Structure 1
Amino acid sequence: MDENTTATVRETTDTHKTMRKIPAEPQNLTETTAWHIIPTPRTLRHDEGVTLLPLNGRVNESRAVGDDRHVLAMQLVDDIHDTTGLDWGITTGDRWPGFITLTVAVPITVAAPATADTHSPAITPDTPDAPIAPTPSTTPGAYTLDITEHGITVAGADFEGVRNGVQTLRQLIRQCGAALPRLHIEDQPAFPTRGYYLDVTRGRVPTLDWLKTWADKLCLYKVNQLQLYVEHTFAFDGLSETWRGSSPLAPRDILEFDDYCAERGIELVPSVSTFGHLYMALRTQSLRDLGEFPEAADEPFGFIDRMRHHTLNIGDERAFALSCRLIDNYLQLFRSDKFNICADETFDLGKGRSKPLAERIGVAAMYADYVTRLCRHLEAQGKQPMMWGDIALEHPEILDQLPEEVTLLNWQYDPQVDDGKIRTVAESGATQIVCPAVWCWNALLPRIDDAWHNITRMARHGTQYQAQGMLVTDWGDFGHVNDPRMAVPGMIVGAQESWAPGRVADEADMLRRISRVEYGDAGGTLVPSLAAARRATLFGWDDLVTWLETGMPALAAARACGIVAGFDAADATLRECAARLATALAQSRTADAAGTSAAFRIAVDGQRLLNRVGLRLARMNDDGRDDDAHSDIHVDGSALAAALESWMEAYAAQWRTVSRESELRRVEDVIWRTADAMRRS
Structure 2
Amino acid sequence: MSYKKNTFEYLIPRPVEIKEVEGQFRISYDTKIVLLESTDSSDYNSALILKGYIEDKLGIRLEITRSASEEDVSKVIILDRSDDIKEEEGYSLNISDDKVIVKARTKRGLLYGVATFRQLIALGGALIPACEISDKPVLSNRGFYHDASRGRIQKLSSYKKLADLCSYFKLNQLQLYVEHSFLFKGFSEVCRDDTPLTAEDILELDEYCAKLGIELIPSISTFGHLYKVLRTKTFEELCELDDPRDSEFSFDQRMQHHTLDVTNEKSFEFVKKVLDEFLPLFRSDYVNICADETFDLGKGKSKELADREGVGKVYVDYVNRIMEYCINKGKKPMFWGDIIVGFPEYAKLLPKDVICLNWGYSDCEKEDNTRKLADVPVRQYLCPGVHGWRHFINHFEMAYRNISIMCEYAGKYHAEGLLNTDWGDYGHLQDPLFSIPGLIYGAAFSWSGVSEETEINRQISRLYYGDREEELMSVARDIGMLEGNSWDQLVQFIELIRNRPAAQEAKEFYGRLKVNEPAENNKRIDEKLDDLRLLITGVNDEGKALINRLLLFAEGQKLMCRALYQLGCKLFDKAQNHDECVRIAAEIETWMYHYKKIWRITSRESELYRVEEIFYQCADILREQNVNLIIK
Question: Aligned pair 1:75/2:42, yes or no?
Answer: no
* CA shift in 2, pair 1:450/1:593, >3 Å: closer
Alpha-carbon contact 1:102-1:162 (below 8 Å) kept: yes
Give the counterpart letter for 2:606 in structure 1. Answer: S
Question: Aligned pair 1:553/2:497, yes or no?
Answer: no
Trace 1:606-617 onto structure 2 (pairs within 5 A): 606-617=556-567
Deviation digits for residues 610-651 of structure 1, max 9, x if unmatched?
Answer: 121133234446253239xxxxxx981111111110000000
Alignment partner for residue 671 of structure 1, among 615, 618, 622?
615
Alignment partner for residue 550 of structure 2, among 600, 605, 611?
600
In the TM superposition, residue 81 of structure 1 has moved relative to its aligned partner by: 1.9
Hey, what does 1:405 align to over in structure 2?
353
Q: 2:37 & 2:399 partners in 1: Cα distance?
A: 40
Alignment partner for residue 160 of structure 1, among 104, 108, 117?
108
Question: Aligned pair 1:532/2:482, yes or no?
Answer: no
Q: 2:382 & 2:140 partners in 1: Cα distance?
A: 12
Alignment partner for residue 491 of structure 1, among 415, 439, 445?
439
Deviation digits for residues 522-563 of structure 1, max 9, x if unmatched?
Answer: 111111111111111112211111111124423543455x62
Q: 2:418 & 2:3 partners in 1: Cα distance?
A: 42
In the TM superposition, residue 63 of structure 1 has moved relative to its aligned partner by: 5.9
* CA shift in 2, pair 1:64/1:197, >3 Å: farther
Hey, what does 2:419 align to over in structure 1?
471
Hey, what does 1:47 align to over in structure 2?
21
Give the secondary-structure state (helix, strand or coil) at the position aligned to 1:386. Answer: strand
* CA shift in 2, pair 1:559/1:32, >3 Å: closer
Hey, what does 2:78 align to over in structure 1?
101
Hey, what does 1:579 align to over in structure 2?
530
Give the counterpart letter for 1:305 in structure 2. Answer: Q
Q: Which structure's residues are more often helix, by fraction?
A: 2
Q: 1:361 & 1:582 partners in 2: Cα distance?
A: 61
Deviation digits for residues 92-137 of structure 1, max 9, x if unmatched?
Answer: 23279461111112232xxxxxxxxxxxxxxxxxxxxxxxxxxxxx
Hey, what does 1:680 align to over in structure 2?
624
Alignment partner for residue 143 of structure 1, among 91, 109, 114?
91
Q: 2:550 & 2:3 partners in 1: Cα distance?
A: 36
Give the counterpart letter for 2:13 in structure 1. Answer: P
Hey, what does 1:111 align to over in structure 2?
none
Alpha-carbon contact 2:43-2:107 (below 8 Å) kept: no
* CA shift in 2, pair 1:260/1:492, >3 Å: same
Deviation digits for residues 387-413 of structure 1, max 9, x if unmatched?
Answer: 111111111122111110211000111
Deviation digits for residues 209-265 of structure 1, max 9, x if unmatched?
Answer: 101111111111000000000000000012211222210000000000000000001
Hey, what does 1:661 align to over in structure 2?
605
Q: 2:581 & 2:490 partners in 1: Cα distance?
A: 16
Which deviates more from structure 2 when the two are superposed, residues 68-77 or residues 460-469?
Answer: 68-77
Hey, what does 1:242 align to over in structure 2?
190
Which deviates more from structure 2 when the two are superposed, residues 286-295 or residues 274-283?
Answer: 286-295
Alpha-carbon contact 2:146-2:176 (below 8 Å) kept: yes
In the TM superposition, residue 379 of structure 1 has moved relative to its aligned partner by: 1.1
* CA shift in 2, pair 1:103/1:649, >3 Å: same
Give the secondary-structure state (helix, strand or coil) at the position aligned to 1:553. Answer: helix
Hey, what does 2:500 align to over in structure 1?
none
Which deviates more from structure 2 when the two are superposed, residues 634-643 or residues 202-211?
Answer: 634-643
Hey, what does 1:58 align to over in structure 2?
32
Q: 2:579 & 2:522 partners in 1: Cα distance?
A: 13
* CA shift in 2, pair 1:319/1:449, >3 Å: same
Give the counterpart letter for 2:563 in structure 1. Answer: V
Hey, what does 1:434 align to over in structure 2?
382
Hey, what does 2:326 align to over in structure 1?
378
Give the secondary-structure state (helix, strand or coil) at the position aligned to 1:285. Answer: coil
What's the Cα RMSD here?
A: 2.0
Alpha-carbon contact 2:195-2:606 (below 8 Å) kept: yes
Q: 1:48 & 1:444 partners in 2: Cα distance?
A: 48
TM-score w.r.t. length of structure 2: 0.93
Alpha-carbon contact 1:282-1:294 (below 8 Å) kept: no
Give the secondary-structure state (helix, strand or coil) at the position aligned to 1:524. Answer: coil
Give the counterpart letter for 1:563 in structure 2. Answer: N
Q: 2:607 & 2:550 partners in 1: Cα distance?
A: 21
Alpha-carbon contact 1:32-1:180 (below 8 Å) kept: no
Q: 2:544 & 2:398 partners in 1: Cα distance?
A: 27
Give the secondary-structure state (helix, strand or coil) at the position aligned to 1:572. Answer: helix
Trace 1:120-139 onto structure 2 (pairs within 5 A): 138-139=86-87
Give the counterpart letter for 1:88 in structure 2. Answer: L
Alignment partner for residue 651 of structure 1, among 589, 595, 599?
595
In the TM superposition, residue 457 of structure 1 has moved relative to its aligned partner by: 0.4
Give the secondary-structure state (helix, strand or coil) at the position aligned to 2:92. Answer: strand
Alpha-carbon contact 1:65-1:158 (below 8 Å) kept: no
Hey, what does 1:563 align to over in structure 2?
516
Alpha-carbon contact 2:462-2:469 (below 8 Å) kept: yes
* CA shift in 2, pair 1:30/1:222, >3 Å: closer
Which deviates more from structure 2 when the two are superposed, residues 545-554 or residues 618-627?
Answer: 618-627
Give the counterpart letter for 2:462 in structure 1. Answer: R
Give the counterpart letter for 1:667 in structure 2. Answer: V
Q: 2:83 & 2:367 partners in 1: Cα distance?
A: 36
Alpha-carbon contact 2:7-2:120 (below 8 Å) kept: no
Hey, what does 1:16 align to over in structure 2?
none
Q: 1:30 & 1:49 partners in 2: Cα distance?
A: 17
Question: Aligned pair 1:203/2:151, yes or no?
Answer: yes
Give the secondary-structure state (helix, strand or coil) at the position aligned to 1:416. Answer: coil
Give the secondary-structure state (helix, strand or coil) at the position aligned to 1:146. Answer: strand
Hey, what does 2:455 align to over in structure 1?
509
In the TM superposition, residue 580 of structure 1 has moved relative to its aligned partner by: 2.8
Deviation digits for residues 448-481 of structure 1, max 9, x if unmatched?
Answer: 1111111000000011111000000000000000
Deviation digits for residues 491-511 of structure 1, max 9, x if unmatched?
Answer: 000101111222x1x211111
Give the counterpart letter for 1:84 in structure 2. Answer: L
Q: 2:586 & 2:41 partners in 1: Cα distance?
A: 54
Q: 2:243 & 2:492 partners in 1: Cα distance?
A: 24
Trace 1:361-376 onto structure 2 (pairs within 5 A): 361-376=309-324
Identity across matched positions, percent: 36
> How many residues get paired?
614
Deviation digits for residues 348-406 of structure 1, max 9, x if unmatched?
Answer: 11110011111222211111111111111111121111111111111112211111021
Question: Aligned pair 1:343/2:294, yes or no?
Answer: no
Give the secondary-structure state (helix, strand or coil) at the position aligned to 1:82. Answer: helix
Hey, what does 1:15 align to over in structure 2?
none
In the TM superposition, residue 73 of structure 1 has moved relative to its aligned partner by: 1.2
Q: 1:45 & 1:310 partners in 2: Cα distance?
A: 56
In the TM superposition, residue 61 of structure 1 has moved relative to its aligned partner by: 2.6
Q: 1:456 & 1:36 partners in 2: Cα distance?
A: 19
Give the counterpart letter for 1:587 in structure 2. Answer: G
